[in-house]
Amino acid sequence: MSSAGLERPQLVAHVQQALNYTLFDCKWVPRSARLLCLGSAARGTGILQLYELQGGRLALLREIEKAKPLKCGTFGATSLQQRYLATGDFGGNLNVWNLEAPEIPVYSVKGHKEIINSIDGVGGLGIGEGAPEIVTGSRDGTVKVWDPRQKDTPVANMEPVQGESKRDCWTVAFGNAYNQEERVVCAGYDNGDIKLFDLKTMSLRWETNIKNGVCSVEFDRKDVNMNKLVATSLEGKFHVFDMRTQHPTKGFASVSEKAQKSTIWQVRHLPQNRDVFMTSGGAGSLHLWKYEYPAQRSKKDSEGAEMGVAGSVSLLQNVTLSTQPISSLDWSPDKKGLCVCGAFDQTVRVLIVTKLNKV
Amino acid sequence: MPVWLRDYSWRQTGSAVYLSLPLRGVRVTAANIFCTDQYLKVSVPPFLFEAILYAPIDDTNSTAKIGNGIIFFTLHKKEVAMWDSLTLANADREKLQYLRENAVLKAHEKAKEETEAKKVTKQEHKKYALEATMKLEEADRKRIENLKEKERQKVTKELELWKKQQKDAEKQKRVQKEGELYQEVEQSKEKKKEKMIKTRIPNEGTSKTGLKPTKGHGSYSMFSENLKEEQLPAPRSAATIKINFTSRVFPTALRESRIAEEEEWLRKQAEARRTISADLSELEDLKEEEKNPDWLKDKGNKMFATGNYLAAVNAYNLAVRLNNKLPLLYLNRAACHLKLRNLHKAIEDSSKALELLTPPVPDNENARVKAYVRRGTAFCQLELYTEGLQDYEAALKIDPKNETVEKDAEKIRHLIQGTTQDS
């Protein structure tokens, strides 16, 4: 290994903590050095643990047990002061918890008939404009958007047409929330469909199929005009779509990369640099990528319609941490390079990625 | 019988014996000389020279110089002494034999020892080389580890520093918050007073400025939350978006699909539709539509439905002449032959159809079931019940839920059992 190799960002494993339950999601608590782990205990109940980074280890601050196993959670739709956690569980319930008083949820609704696979929030944490909203995607094939001020009914519901056989929704993400009216939800399904719903016009804006089940979608930033969308799928492929230019028939331009031989479970963009993202794989590996824009982001096609041009993706670093899939990944919004990942070997790991300034 | 060489000459010093042995007319190599510490033999067929030495010599250091029809031995004595003669004088036959054997054994042992010693040294050399490379690699690895360790420590320090900063910032915010809360409480008291005393307009103004929310710093006060609610848009009016999912030609996930086979089947279909046989000379007087195999197939189907089986067969025959790659033509013609009781032809056609229906994919399941059933029926009507049963079971394997096929298979089984009982 030459010294040139050491100039690239390094993924340093900082802390590792073994847990006694299956970990499904891990998230940093905003504006703090605390992190949250959500999962399912062996006896079939949900576990929520709050850890703090102290010295070289994680200290457990709180442990909360809930009736149903918890699958996913987000802080995206709460204010920085309140820092309420929105969770989706195996029974299809959406709950918003105040971690200081977690016995009764602040908001609760049985949103779906089946497990909520993915959740996202927008409008909180001082990021973006507009009302705070939560979107959930479930195995029952529907994607629902909730406003914590409105009880029981979602403010938007994306469901299959009557008689259509449903496909599981595996992932959801908010985007394009750059002013109070605009908002977009992107959902990925197990048959490879990616659908983009515009909430301002309440319509389907774009859809495509990437042939393999979509495990994770994320916009590079939720609170700007849609710039890039990364969608990861089974069989080791991920696609980066350039969302600035939509062609009337061809949709958005994309570049795809086959990185790992196994499923790519998650993609997360670095909050401090929207062109750097990390993907986590089914073989327990993490890959750090950088997107480079093309010389011209759009060009005219034969009929004069604007068409986007996709750039290129390059691998900065990769590391294998575990033998089991790394199912959840989160960057700390406060410290550049600090991230937490949770794997199915019941371990949560805190990593530090160095030299991101030079990327 | 070897020829003994007896004309040798020798002389000695205190420590060595010099023996010269003439060997005329033969070529001597090192292999012909055999020497141990008390026995010397030179054997060049047919000549033989043998000597049992007076005293032991150091055979490793002794040398033999071969050349010019003479061998010159330089034998170094083990003990410094003067020998009375070169050989032991009173050596009887048995002693001779014994000495010879001993000599051979000793030679063997020596050879063995030498090889052993060689092996050992070789091993040691290998080990040494290995250890040296290992050390080098170890050093390299250590260097890299150190670099990584340094990075880690640096990064950990930064993290701790950042944490401290966070804690301080939080403390500050808390103090600030408390201060603001106190302020707000004061101002609310003032506001209440102002509501009662309406003339205090300038003070209202000041209290309002105190209420300006600080944007984006995360230190929201109680009152600013209320204001924010007013700034937030109302919850969206509920709406539903209906979606469709991408249909697949074959409804299996990519990883489960036997995509190669499915592609092959699609390709075959496409090709089949395109092929037209070249033998069109007789068909020139046919109308345009009569040259289209699909049209002919439809015609055939219609005639089959009305019961005009011969005409249907004619239509299918013409279609096959035009395009002999469409499996459905053979399938339908087999049905006609069944009805016409041309059982052998029915079997032929069903078999041809099955051949064309490879590779077996879910798309051509129905066709394959029909083909098996028709062939099975034909076999049964020919009283070849076992073959018929085989075909029915094949059909069942493809479509286990088909009740008619089940029932027929049962009937055939009973028949077979009935006939075996009879015979």
C-alpha to C-alpha distance for B392 and B369, rounded to whole angstroms: 9
Q: Is the pLDDT of residue B203 over 70?
A: no
Q: Is the pLDDT of residue A121 over 80?
A: yes
Own/partner contacts of B148-156, CB < 8 Å, gap of 24 or more, are B148/A10, B148/A12, B151/A10, B151/A12, B151/A354, B152/A12, B152/A14, B152/A352, B155/A12, B155/A14, B155/A337, B155/A352, B155/A354, B156/A14, B156/A56, B156/A352
C-alpha to C-alpha distance for B174 and B167, rounded to whole angstroms: 11
Q: Is the pLDDT of residue A6 over 70?
A: no
Do the domain assignments include residue A338?
yes
Pick the more confident residue, B358 or B354.
B354
Pairing of strands A193-198, A203-209: antiparallel
Pick the more confident residue, A82 or B185.
A82
Collapsed DSSP state (helix, strand, coil) of residue B287: coil
Of A158, A166, A209, the CB nearest to B246: A209
Average pLDDT of span A190-204: 90
Q: Which residues of A touch B171 (CB under 8 A)?
A: none
Q: Which residues of B touch A336 (CB under 8 A)?
A: none
Q: Give pLDDT, residue A95.
A: 93
Q: Give pLDDT, residue B197.
A: 57
Q: Give pLDDT, residue B205.
A: 39
Mean pLDDT, chain B, whole residue set: 77
DSSP state of B77: B
Q: Is the pLDDT of residue A209 over 50?
A: yes
Phi, then psi, of A304 in degrees rounded to 5: 90, 0
Q: Is the pLDDT of residue A156 over 70?
A: yes
Structure token digits, residue B355: 């051949």
Q: Give pLDDT, residue A348.
A: 94
Question: Is the separation of the CB atoms in A122 and A110 below 8 Å?
Answer: no
Q: Is the pLDDT of residue A199 over 50?
A: yes
Find residues 156-175 of chain A whose CB sits inside 8 Å of chain B. Answer: 156-161, 164-167
Do the domain assignments include residue A73?
yes
H/E stretch holding B98 reads helix B93-196
Question: Is the separation of the CB atoms in A265 and A236 below 8 Å?
Answer: no
Contact A235 B254 (CB under 8 A): yes
Mean pLDDT, chain A, whole residue set: 89
Q: Does residue A357 belong to the interface with chain B, where contact is any CB pair within 8 Å?
A: no
Q: Which residues of A touch B163 (CB under 8 A)?
A: 33, 53
At A46, the pLDDT band (50, 70, 90 cuts) reads very high
Amino acid type, A42: A
Could you report the per-residue pLDDT of B377-411, keeping only the tens digit for each? 888 888 888 888 888 888 888 888 888 888 888 88
At B28, the pLDDT band (50, 70, 90 cuts) reads confident
Q: Which residues of B touch A53 (CB under 8 A)?
A: 159, 163
Do the domain assignments include residue A101?
yes
Question: Is the separation of the CB atoms in B191 and B210 below 8 Å?
Answer: no
Pick the more confident residue, A347 or B158.
A347
Q: What percent of chain A shows pLDDT beyond 70? A: 98
C-alpha to C-alpha distance for A84 and A95, rounded to whole angstroms: 10
Contact B245 A153 (CB under 8 A): no
Q: What percent of chain B shows pLDDT beyond 90? A: 8
The strand ranges marked E within B159-205 are none
Q: Give pLDDT, residue B214.
A: 37
Q: Does residue A62 belong to the interface with chain B, where contact is any CB pair within 8 Å?
A: no
**Would you identify the CATH topology of the domain B291-417?**
1.25.40
Q: Give pLDDT, residue A358.
A: 81
Q: Is B227 exposed, middle or buried (0-12, 13-18, 19+ CB in 10 A)?
A: middle
Contacts of B171 (CB under 8 A, 6+ apart): none
Q: Tell me the DSSP string of B101-112.
A: HHHHHHHHHHHH
The whole-angstrom distance between A33's CA and the closest CA on chain B is 7
Q: Give pLDDT, residue A61.
A: 92
Q: Is the pLDDT of residue B221 over 60?
A: no
Do the domain assignments include residue A195?
yes
Q: Give pLDDT, residue B200.
A: 45
CATH number for the domain running over B3-90? 2.60.40.790
Contact B254 A211 (CB under 8 A): yes
Structure token digits, residue B395: 């059909």
Question: Is the separation of the CB atoms in B23 and B70 below 8 Å?
Answer: yes
Q: Give pLDDT, residue B194.
A: 63
Phi, then psi, of B147 in degrees rounded to 5: -60, -45
At A91, the pLDDT band (50, 70, 90 cuts) reads very high
C-alpha to C-alpha distance for B277 and B321, rounded to whole angstroms: 7
Q: Is the pLDDT of residue B360 over 60?
A: yes
Of B155, B163, B218, the CB nearest to A80: B218
At B91, the pLDDT band (50, 70, 90 cuts) reads low
Which of A234-248, B32-46, B48-62, B201-215 shows the lowest mean pLDDT across its residues? B201-215
Do the domain assignments include residue A103?
yes
Contact B152 A335 (CB under 8 A): no
Q: What is the three-state SS of chain A?
A: CCCCHHHCCCEEEEEEEECCCEEEEEEECCCCCEEEEEEECCCCCEEEEEEEEECCEEEEEEEEEECCCEEEEECCCCCCCCCCEEEEECCCEEEEECCCCCCCCCEEEECCCCCEEEEEEECCCCCCCCCCEEEEEECCCCEEEECCCCCCCCCEEEEECCCCCCCCEEEEEEECCCCCCCCEEEEEECCCEEEEEECCCCEEEEEEECCCCEEEEEECCCCCCCCEEEEEECCCEEEEEEEEEEECCCEEEEEEEECCCCCEEEEEEECCEEEEEEEEECCCEEEEEEEECCCCCEEECCCCCEEECCCEEEEEEEEECCCCCEEEEEECCCCCCEEEEEECCCEEEEEEECCHHHC
Do the domain assignments include residue A347?
yes
Q: Which residues of A touch B224 (CB under 8 A)?
A: none
Check which CATH number belongs to the domain holding A197 and give it: 2.130.10.10
Q: Is the pLDDT of residue A82 over 50?
A: yes
Contact A191 B159 (CB under 8 A): no
Do the domain assignments include residue A4?
no
Q: Which residue has the tokens 């506001």?
A: B191
Q: Give pLDDT, residue B213.
A: 37
Average pLDDT of span B106-133: 93
Structure token digits, residue A250: 């061809």
Scanning every residue of chain A, which has its alpha carbon at the shortest distance from the alpha carbon of B246? A193
Q: Which pTM was predicted?
A: 0.59
Q: Give pLDDT, residue B413.
A: 86
C-alpha to C-alpha distance for A102 and A25, rounded to whole angstroms: 18
Average pLDDT of span A337-358: 91
Q: What percent of chain A shows pLDDT beyond 90? A: 55
C-alpha to C-alpha distance for B270 and A128, rounded to whole angstroms: 53
**Structurally, how many domains does chain A consist of?**
1
Could you report the per-residue pLDDT of B154-185, keeping only the tens digit for each? 888 888 888 888 778 778 878 887 887 787 77
Q: Which residues of A touch B242 (CB under 8 A)?
A: 159-161
Average pLDDT of span A292-316: 88
H/E stretch holding B333 reads helix B327-339
CB pairs under 8 A between A and B: 126
Q: Is B81 left (phi over 0), alpha (psi -120 to 50) or beta?
A: beta
At B3, the pLDDT band (50, 70, 90 cuts) reads confident
Of A32, A154, A167, the CB nearest to B245: A167
Q: What percent of chain B shows pLDDT beyond 70? A: 80
Do the domain assignments include residue A59?
yes
Could you report the per-residue pLDDT of B125-146, keeping only the tens digit for each? 999 999 999 999 999 999 988 8
Q: Which residues of B touch A165 (CB under 8 A)?
A: 245
Q: Is the pLDDT of residue B412 over 90?
A: no
Q: Find the domain containing A326 and state its range.
A: 10-354
